Amino acid sequence: MSPSAGGLVVFLLSVQVIQSQDGWRVKYDQTDVCAAKGSTVDINCDYTHPYGIYYSGKKDRFWFTKEKDGEPVDLKPDSEYSGRVKYGCYSYSDSCYLTIRDVRESDSAEYKFTFRTNEPGEKYTGSPGVTLSVTGLQVQVRRSDSTWLELTCHSNCVLSDHPEYVWYKNEENIKTGSSLPVSSGSTDRYSCYLRGSWNQRSPAVYGPQRPSVSVSPSAEMLEGDSVNLTCSADANPAANYTWYKAHRISDPRPLSEEPQLVFSSIQSSDSGRYSCIAENQLGRKTSDFILIPVKYLPQRPSVSVSPSAEILEGGSVTLTCSTDANPAANYTWYKGDGTSDPHLLSEEPQLVFSSIQSSDSGRYSCTAENQLGRKTSDFISIDVKCG
């Protein structure tokens, strides 16, 4: 093993022997190596060569992963490994090593040792080589009971016999060990790393932040339009979402369990306040309410008369026009039989007769109108009796 400084050395002791060819042979101490991102990796080999090649006759001994024009490309000058690679052979020895510091996931490759002499064409490469797999750490979340969770620092392979994991809560080093108990609903961020791996921490896990809600299109919504509401929250693991309408917030049946609530043809009945909930294993948060005002033209107005009993001359009578509309409707009142231009009487929701006369008898109608359109009520007949 090489004299690597500091750093975690990760290896699997499974010997790979390259069969001898005319006296040439390479024996690797490892066949497959799995390392945590940021750790230090050592790969070792012994080689033999035909009798009669002395130390002064050895031209090149180096490690490589790539070839160019059929020739191995030395790792050391490769910019991808700049300052991180060290290799060599022990004095007057046929034992050699390769050390890679602060390994990256891009370092995953097959590493081979090659040897050349001063004689033209006299060379040998140990193939197959040693396969290095570099993995990042992940925090797994498991529920222990209704109030506690267990966090586990995990990698995709066995990194060493006795890995020492270090836990962070937010940016504070709090504990060592392979697992960490935390309370459900915690708003803190937890991460871990393998001691000796140049503090290459896992991505932090944390409960959702308060979700935000966006609406598309953001312009005014007209009845029949397609409208999407999108809920998003920063969380790791990724959050699951549920949508509710304000008056149904206690209803166990959500409107949707997707990040988007889609109205392919929104209706006036869809107007209201909406909120979404973002939830993962660590906690849940509810968004603020968002108001969805669907604009629509007036419905056919209805007309009511007060008092509704027999109308006597000299009495006070009020006709009221009402409709459902958004924006709110403006009203106009007319008297007429519909065979000629009606006579405009009022532009208020109510038509008031403080002292009704027999000449006021007749048929009345009202019109409700906003920017989107207008509708006219049915006629209502007023028959004024002489007192």
Neighbours of 81 (CB within 10 A): 20
Handedness of CA 182, 187, 188, 194 (dihedral sign): positive
**What is the token pair recorded at 178?**
């392979």
pLDDT, mean of residues 154-175: 83
Looking at the fold, whether 118 and 189 belong to one and the same domain comes out as no
Instruction: Give mean pLDDT, residues 184-197.
Output: 85
Considering 135, 158, 179, which residue would you say is the last residue of a domain? 135
Q: Which domain holds residue 318?
A: 302-385
Distance CA 256, CA 383 (A): 54
Distance CA 328, CA 316 (A): 27
52, pLDDT greater than 80? no
Q: How far apart are CA 66 and CA 356, in angstroms?
A: 103
Residues 290 and 306 in one domain: no
Please tell me whether residues 123 and 76 are part of one structural domain: yes
The pLDDT tens digits of the residues spanning 113-134 come to 998 877 776 788 898 999 999 9
pLDDT at 254: 84
Question: Is 165 a domain residue?
Answer: yes
Residue count (the chain): 387
Task: Place 99 in a pLDDT band, splitting at 50, 70 and 90.
Answer: very high
Do residues 96 and 49 both lie within one domain?
Answer: yes
What's the CA gap between 143 and 168, in Å, rounded?
19
Rounded average pLDDT over 141-166: 82
Nearest to 15 by CA among 32, 1, 3, 2: 32
For position 337, what pLDDT does the model report?
61
Record the tokens describing residue 103, joined without a space: 């390994």
Q: Are residues 149 and 182 in the same domain?
A: yes
pLDDT per position as a tens digit, 347-378 = 999 999 999 999 999 999 999 999 999 999 99
Give a yes or no: residue 11 inside a domain: no
Residue 309 sits in the same domain as residue 228:
no
Residue 149 sits in the same domain as residue 234: no
Band (pLDDT 50/70/90 cuts) for residue 97 is very high
Residue 253 belongs to a domain with what CATH number? Answer: 2.60.40.10
What confidence score (pLDDT) does residue 17 get?
44
* pLDDT (average), residues 210-216: 95
Instruction: Count the domains in the chain.
Output: 4
Same-domain status, 23 and 124: yes
Task: Show the tokens assigned to 350.
Answer: 């109510």
Whole-angstrom distance, CA of residue 229 vs CA of residue 216: 7
**3-class DSSP state of 268:** helix
> 91 pLDDT exceeds 90?
no
CA–CA gap between residue 254 and residue 276 (Å, rounded): 9
Q: Which residue has the tokens 């060990």?
A: 177
Strands 32-36 and 311-312, bridge-based pairing: unpaired
Q: Is 79 exposed, middle or buried (0-12, 13-18, 19+ CB in 10 A)?
A: exposed
Q: Which amino acid is located at 211 in the chain? A: P
Q: Contact 129/118 with Cβ under 8 angstroms?
A: no
- Two tokens, residue 290: 């968002």
Query: Residue 121 corresponds to which tokens in the numbers above?
Result: 């064409």
95 and 174 co-located in one domain: no
Residue 199 lies in a domain: no
Judge if pTM exceeds 0.75.
Answer: no
Cβ contacts of 363 within 8 Å, gap of 6 or more:
335, 336, 337, 338, 379, 380, 381, 382
pLDDT band at 1 (very low <50, low <70, confident <90, very high): very low
For residue 340, is pLDDT > 60? no
pLDDT at residue 16 is higher than 70? no
Range among 169-173, 174-178, 317-321 rated most confident = 317-321
pLDDT tens profile 63-84 = 999 999 988 999 999 999 999 9
Residue 48 has pLDDT above 50, yes or no: yes
Amino acid identity at 338: G
How far, in Å, are 10, 13, 87, 97, 238 from residue 194 at the CA level? Answer: 11, 20, 24, 24, 24
